[in-house]
Amino acid sequence: MYYPVMLDLRDKKVLFIGGGIETEVKVQRLVDAGARVRLISPFDHPALDALVQDGRLDWQRRAYHYGDLAGFMLCFVHLPDTTLNATIAAEARERGIWLNAVDDSPHCDFILPSIHRQGDLVIAISTSGVAPALAVRIKEHLSAVYGPEYAAFLDVLRSFRSLVKQAYPHSFAERRAAWYRLVDSEALTMLRTGDYVQAQNLLWQALYDTASAVPVDLSLHQQEVV
């Protein structure tokens, strides 16, 4: 049984031993997550050249050697020939480094779910390695339900985090109730139709829909939603 978790990889050292067909996509996602990525691969990955030029990727164009994992917290392996996976896994376990070997679960300490993302909304789907294709189909279904309006909704709600605390500084129960009023409002429907101003107005009303709220100078906080 797997334990689901979201990792903050910002400024963390991650090694990717690559060459497989998904190397470019997987390395790009790690870089986008803020990881300090070193790629070891003697193969051509033209989509990654710009990352090297920008200083966002350390690419050593060679094959793996024992000792390459030293100093890293995570390692990903995606080789065209998987015969080295066992050797790399042995080094990872010797050093206490978490390893993901693509499509090779016996040499994995963790597996990657199928992801549907809309801005800060991240929905991860996993079949625990049994049938990844089913996870992809579920993701496709979710993508039709959770569209770009959810990214916009979270962008707006981010500005309400401090407002909720200011409006209800002494009661966790009131803050929780305020958050449910916000997320249960019709603001999401307004965002789905592109009515950003009305969505924000509905959220202001939901926030202060109780006599116990502490007044806040909204002119210092209210911003146009774009």
| Tokens 């164009």 found at | 61
The pLDDT value recorded for residue 216 is 55
> Residue-wise over 190-214: b if at least 16 C-beta within 10 A, else e?
bbbeebbebbbebbbebbbeeeebe
pLDDT score, position 214: 64
Question: What residues pair up with 57 in beta bridges, in sequence order?
Answer: 37
Taking the C-alpha atoms of residue 86 and residue 21, their distance in angstroms, rounded to an integer, is: 20
List pLDDT tens digits, range 150-203. Answer: 999 999 999 999 999 999 998 999 999 999 999 999 999 999 999 999 999 999
State residue 1's pLDDT score. Answer: 83
Quick count: other Cβ atoms within 10 Å of Cβ 143?
A: 13
Which residue stretches of the chain are H helix?
A: 23-32, 49-53, 85-95, 132-145, 149-158, 161-167, 172-184, 187-192, 196-207
- pLDDT for the residue numbered 221: 47
Q: What is the DSSP string of 106-150?
A: GG-SS---EEEEETTEEEEE--TTS-HHHHHHHHHHHHHHS-THH
What distance in Å separates the CA atoms of residue 198 and residue 78, rounded to the nearest whole number? 48
Burial, 155: exposed, middle or buried (Cβ in 10 Å; 0-12, 13-18, 19+)? middle
Band of pLDDT at residue 209, cut at 50, 70 and 90: confident
Q: Do residues 134 and 127 touch, judged by C-beta distance below 8 A?
A: yes
pLDDT tens for 24-60 read 999 999 999 999 999 999 999 999 999 999 999 999 9
Structure tokens at 171: 């009661």
